[in-house]
Structure 1
Amino acid sequence: METTTSIRKIIHVDMDAFYASVEQMDNPDLMGKPIAVGGSENRGVVAAASYEARKFGVRSAISGVVAKRNCPDLIFVKPRFERYKEISNKIHKIFKDYTDLVEPLSLDEAYLDVTVNKKGITSASILAEEIRSRIFSEVGLTASAGISVNKFVAKIASDFNKPNGQKTVNPDELISFLEVLPIRKFYGVGKVTTEKMYQLGIFTGLELKSKSVEFLVKHFGKSGSFYYNVVRGIHNSEVKSNRISKSVAAEHTFDTNLSSEIFMLEQLENIADTLERRLKKNNVSGKTITLKIKYSDFTQQTRSKTLPYFIADKGLIIESVKELLYQERMKNSVRLLGISMSNLNTEVKKSIVVQLSFPF
């Protein structure tokens, strides 16, 4: 069976500081000020930060205490996820005016395959400009975009001219773009992997490209083959409009640290209740239950159990969570608890897709 490599036109749209921008849009008093969505100066974790706050090193996933220390004038805003979802739905309606091949990654970013599009526009760059313009005029927020022949490069490109910009990497620019790219900017290469690559003398795409697949697999396992291919511009993952979640989770950060398993179990009952609602809303069940524990010193631990059958019922979830909770003694007082369900009953058969070739 012969295969033909087709040139695809992929756009990655990424909203600019989405949660924070929504808050500034809805409350003009916050415009131009450093704000953090989520957390507080005493507790919690920052979910998003405005660009004004990012200048001080405030970013998502850092504690509110550290964020406030970095930026004394930081304003904390309570998250309004229903509002973010409402805005996200409006943005995705705009996407659907151009293509049905839309793969959401989160509320604020998505891939669009516009190889064949509803507007009949041959230039993916012009399409991206039009989409971003409509988001601004119809929603009131700015978006950035990356345009290229595959999802991997489009994702990287969308970060180049943020905020409110876009970058196109054409087919004839692909290899040179990747060769000069710092390895830390490769999508999927985190801090730990970056440090390991530095130790191996890999600082740019060109140096990564000089390594054999055997070398990369030896040092990075299965990911080695991925790195070997993407630095050569090979990434055949399709834009999937029916992207299925691999897990469903619920968690809670407490105002006061918990030191008793009894109090923890009370909170886990509430978390399990939320998880059950989410599972039933998505009409899924799972076999693997994971208990997430974050201690007061910010160290994290997970404990998992896989059942021989699928469940979505709160009672059955709690039964397993109790076992995991009492599996070993707590190391310290606890600031966050979470429960996730994976190994879901959402496996779908892989299908062969024949894609036509079009000029970029």
Structure 2
Amino acid sequence: MGRIIFHVDVNNAFLSWTAVDLLKKGFKIDIRKIPSAIAGNQSKRHGIILAKSPVAKNKGVQTATPIYIARKKCSNLRIFAPDYELYKKESDKLYAYLCSYSKYVERYSIDECYLDMSNYKFNKEEFIKLAYKIKNEINSNFGFTVNVGIANNKLCAKMASDFLKPNRVHTLFKEEIKDKLWPLPVHKLYMIGEKTAKRLQILNIKTIADLANSDFNFLQKYFKNSALYMYEYANGEDNSQINYIKEKNKNISMSITLPIDIQDKDELKSILLNLSKKVAVRLHNQNLYAKTISITLRNKYFKDTQRQTKLYNATNNYKEINKTGCFLLDSLYKEEYIRYVGIKLSDLVENNEYQLSLFDENNNDNGLDKVINKVNSNCKNKQVKIVPASYISKK
């Protein structure tokens, strides 16, 4: 598959994040489903609309217009003040979550990120399945939706994520450029502003295909230094790299909010086993090992308790992760009803410098684990297990 880039873009970020926050605080209405907008100071007649709900959009409300104009088009428009501190927190949560899937994440803006997923040895269908998994997990974990674009470079990934919204996954691979990118109006191409689009129209360049098939010298005559990127972008060419920040203490975590409160410790351990397998798959996919394991339990009164331990040797073996997790659970659990279970792996390293012990029972079955994790990552309801050969012979 070569290079694979995901572009994750939050749908209507400011309004969505405000809506989720209001619902958490007991607000009875989801403002995404009514005529609403995020806008500047309402006391000033010329406050500007920063974001609007789909309902408001259908009534003619537009971003970057004054509030008084928006109210003329939608008399029952409800205005909510922006909360930039909240938006930063939600953006940070999204970024941290995406870092659990790739070491190479670029925060392009407050509501969009690029991920280099080239480390995953997947085929096209598996990448699409992974994108849907990320999209759906963001919705279930955080309450807002995203679009995910998949492509061979950053430009095409961003273009793909803009195709149709909200809550969608789109691809724009090299072989799809002529069919998916070229038919679009030229103003849809990334970095083509309104003035440039008008100049292109005058030159009878109306679609991205027209631009892609234009004579480069002709373009250079009218657009000087901008002609090169315009021509390359129209042909889906982009060699820009992911500008990621190296972080020493990234972590990988998985959690579940249970549909009913559970008091059975064995059932909690069964849930923990499933979570251990999932975080192990992520470790294997990124060729990482964890030195610290922690678990969190939340009771029915929403009180969290947490325990963590540092391992003698870093691991990506789900059995070791689960064994440690169960030990921590035993020390935490107090015969109470539990509604949430989480496991987190931290102090991640790329090399497992194994320290031998005279009493070590490790069988060095990481190779087999990798195969099993690969199979399990593609199975929804069934899991591969190891059984002794003696068990098979008895059958």
Which TM-score applies when normalising by structure 2? 0.57
By how many angstroms is 1:184 displaced?
1.6
1:57 aligns with 2:52: no
Q: Name the residue aligned to 1:188.
A: 191
* Residues 153-189 of structure 1: per-residue CA shift (max 9 Å, x gap): 1111111120111211223212332321211211111
* Residues 220-273 of structure 1: per-residue CA shift (max 9 Å, x gap): 221111111122221111111149xxxxxxxxxxxxxxxxxxxxxxxxxxxxxx
Q: Name the residue aligned to 1:265.
A: none
1:110 aligns with 2:113: yes
Contact 2:106/2:113 (8 A) holds in 1: yes
Residue identity opposite 1:24 in structure 2: A
| Distance change in 2, residues 1:44/1:116 (3 Å) | same
* Residues 103-156 of structure 1: per-residue CA shift (max 9 Å, x gap): 112221111111114xx6553322211111111111011111111111111111
1:66 and 1:193 map into 2 onto residues whose CA distance is 28
By how many angstroms is 1:26 displaced?
2.6
* Residues 57-98 of structure 1: per-residue CA shift (max 9 Å, x gap): 323322222222222211111111111111111111110011
Query: What secondary structure does 1:47 align onto?
Result: strand
1:84 aligns with 2:87: yes
Q: How does 1:92-107 map to 2 (within 5 A)?
A: 92-107=95-110
By how many angstroms is 1:25 displaced?
2.1
Contact 1:180/1:206 (8 A) holds in 2: yes
2:226 and 2:245 map into 1 onto residues whose CA distance is 25
Contact 1:121/1:127 (8 A) holds in 2: no
1:167 and 1:31 map into 2 onto residues whose CA distance is 23
| Distance change in 2, residues 1:178/1:160 (3 Å) | closer
Q: Name the residue aligned to 2:50.
A: 47
| Distance change in 2, residues 1:31/1:17 (3 Å) | closer
Contact 2:189/2:233 (8 A) holds in 1: no
1:21 aligns with 2:16: yes
Contact 2:32/2:54 (8 A) holds in 1: no
2:65 and 2:156 map into 1 onto residues whose CA distance is 27
1:105 and 1:62 map into 2 onto residues whose CA distance is 25
Q: Name the residue aligned to 2:38.
A: 37
Aligned length: 236
Flag structure 2 segments of 5+ consecutive residues without an equivalent: 23-27, 247-395
Residue identity opposite 2:206 in structure 1: F
Q: Could you say what the CA RMSD is over the residues aligned between the two structures, in angstroms?
A: 1.9
Residue identity opposite 1:209 in structure 2: A
1:224 and 1:211 map into 2 onto residues whose CA distance is 11
Residue identity opposite 2:68 in structure 1: V
Contact 1:148/1:169 (8 A) holds in 2: yes
Q: How does 1:239-318 map to 2 (within 5 A)?
A: 239-242=242-245
Q: Name the residue aligned to 2:221.
A: 218
1:98 and 1:83 map into 2 onto residues whose CA distance is 24
Q: Name the residue aligned to 1:11.
A: 6
Question: Of 199, 202, 220, which aligns to 1:199?
Answer: 202
Moved more, 173-182 or 229-238: 173-182
1:240 and 1:35 map into 2 onto residues whose CA distance is 35
1:227 and 1:7 map into 2 onto residues whose CA distance is 24
Contact 1:175/1:233 (8 A) holds in 2: no
Residue identity opposite 1:48 in structure 2: A
Residue identity opposite 1:213 in structure 2: F
1:201 and 1:79 map into 2 onto residues whose CA distance is 42
Contact 1:10/1:124 (8 A) holds in 2: no
Question: Of 199, 208, 212, which aligns to 2:211?
Answer: 208
Flag structure 1 segments of 5+ consecutive residues without an equivalent: 1-5, 244-360
Which TM-score applies when normalising by structure 1? 0.62
Q: Name the residue aligned to 2:141.
A: 138
Question: Of 163, 166, 183, which aligns to 2:166?
Answer: 163
Q: Name the residue aligned to 1:246.
A: none
1:12 and 1:23 map into 2 onto residues whose CA distance is 23
Identical residues among aligned pairs (%): 33
Q: Name the residue aligned to 1:237.
A: 240
1:58 and 1:113 map into 2 onto residues whose CA distance is 36
Query: What secondary structure does 1:180 align onto?
Result: coil
Q: How does 1:309-328 map to 2 (within 5 A)?
A: none
| Distance change in 2, residues 1:124/1:223 (3 Å) | farther
